[in-house]
Structure 1
Amino acid sequence: MASHKQAFWFGVRDLLPLVSGVLPFGLIAGATGVSMGMTPEMIMGMTVLFFAGSAQLAAYSLIQDNAPFIIIVLTVLVINFRFVIYSASFAPLLGPLKKRYRLPLTFMLSDQVYGLCSMPEQQAKSNGERVFYLAGVAISMALSWFISVALGVALGASIPASWSLEFTIPLAFLAMLVTTITNRRLFLVACISALCAITFQLLPYNIGFIAAVVAGVSCGLLLPNLLQKRVGKHG
């Protein structure tokens, strides 16, 4: 049990450096909600319900643009589709747990949790240590996110535009992206997604983003088969 507690606090420790990327994200989410006339209760309720900062900010943007409801829903679903992949990755680990443990942990899955808990050094540990490590990362990440949004709500429009906090959001995602590109296939998927995002950026209602996600996912699914066929021909 001591090793499990130690694994939990290792998870908290490893998440702390990432708070610097979470904080500005949360401040922007909270302040944007206030600027749109939403009540603190609505903002925090949306934050807990979504628990996905990128989807929340995208929804804010589309609401401000008076986008059709179906576009808002579709955009949020596409952005959050990656959590299906995350859940599938952790299913063997979390599946045997009782529901009162499994459901909260799966709800708190995030990019940071996936990135830290899928490291090779974590894969080599026992299932018990991995679960407690994941819990440490997930709980500290959730608390960091909720506190950051609450600070954004409290500060509201008083956050100076000169701080350019929104610039830190793509930087945080780029930092996570670089650590996940571990082979040629993932590099190609990232390049194709980026090219599509740039090409279709002028399309209304963030449709270009949806196109980039679809292109990236399709590339990731089709590339292995194409490479196998190519190897088979040359073999």
Structure 2
Amino acid sequence: MGNWDHLVGASWRGECWAGARAELPLLLGVLPFGLVYGVLGLQAGLPGWAVVLMSSIVFGGSSQVVFAQLWGAGVPAPVIVGTVGVVNLRHALYSASVAQLLAELPLRWKLLLAYLLTDEAYMAAVGRLTSGPRSAVRHWFLFGTGFTLWAGWQLSTLGGVLLGATIPAGWALDFSIALTFIALLVPSLRRRSECVAAAVAGAVALLAQGVPYKLWILLAALAGMLAGMLAQALQRGKSHE
């Protein structure tokens, strides 16, 4: 947990800037990811404007990469929508964990913060929201983390699109995306259930490579979530014995 003493009595500007500063170190991993996504989007056959627009509308790094890969493989639209939806289900968990803390906000704020609530923004803000000093403007901290990430993602996507025009189409960058995911995932695995979910998802992804329409992505995501939920339920059962 961070030291939030400097935020006692902070203004909305102080909260916002504190959130932005908390998010900045995480951009070191996000910016290269955005560059690679921009390049992959072009290689998948998407026009540059669509690649950039998707970063503003969807604003979900992993789901955007999955969309680009499935689009490039000619996968049917219902499969693409279903797979992207499953990949983004984790955002509902983030929302549930902070919903009560932000329940008094007006609807316009809830919609805005829901849009900005991503993995990295949540990681940077959850400590402030759950254990920091109570403040009527602490939602500005989450806004600061979310907006900083949003701006970095837009710029890195645009950079990837501009860079992609100079990279030969024969260069396969899919593997670099896998390495980026692993680099972001491994440091965040702390609980046994999380390790189980990651291991099962990885195993299913390898075993299901021959499934058509790249459905191995959907199968791996579902298997990982189910395994994680089961492991968590078993762990809770043992703690109550």
1:198 to 196, 206, 209: 206
Summarize the alignment of residues 148-227 of structure 1 with structure 2, pairs less than 5 Å apart: 148-159=156-167, 169-227=177-235
Q: What residue ranges of structure 2 are gaps of 5+ in the alignment?
A: 1-8
> What is the aligned-residue RMSD (CA, Å)?
2.8
Contact 2:45-2:72 within 8 A present in 1 as well: no
What percentage of residue pairs aligned between the two structures are identical?
A: 35
Contact 1:115–1:176 under 8 Å retained in 2: no
Out of 112, 115, 131, the residue aligned to residue 124 of structure 1 is: 131
TM-score, normalising length from structure 1?
A: 0.84
Partner of 2:141: 133
2:53 aligns with 45
Taking a change above 3 Å as real, the CA distance of residues 166 and 13 of structure 1, as seen in their structure-2 partners, is farther
- How many residues are matched? 232
Cα distance in 2 for residues equivalent to 1:219 and 1:36? 32
166 and 8 in structure 1: CA distance in 2 versus 1, 3 angstrom threshold: farther
Q: Which amino acid aligns with 1:108?
A: L
Does residue 96 (structure 1) correspond to residue 86 (structure 2)? The answer is no
Q: Is the 8 A contact 1:35 1:157 kept in 2?
A: no
Kept in 1, the 8 Å contact 2:34–2:160? The answer is yes
- Between the aligned partners of 1:28 and 1:178, the Cα distance in structure 2 is 20
Distance 1:40 1:190, change over 3 A: closer
Code of the aligned partner of 1:60: A
Mark the CA change 1:223 to 1:164 in structure 2 (over 3 Å): closer, same or farther: same
Q: In structure 1, what residue type is equivalent to 2:20?
A: V
Structure 1 partner of 2:3: none
Q: Is the 8 A contact 1:197 1:212 kept in 2?
A: yes
Q: Deviations over 1:106-147 (max 9, x none)?
A: 10111101222234x652112546422211110000000011
Whichever residue aligns with residue 199 of structure 2, its letter is: C
Q: Give the whole-Å Cα distance in 1 for the aligned partners of 2:72 and 2:28.
A: 27
2:23 aligns with 15
Alignment of 1:41-80 (within 5 A): 41-80=49-88
Q: Indicate conservation of the 8 Å contact 2:34/2:61, yes or no.
A: yes
Q: Which has the higher helix share?
A: 1
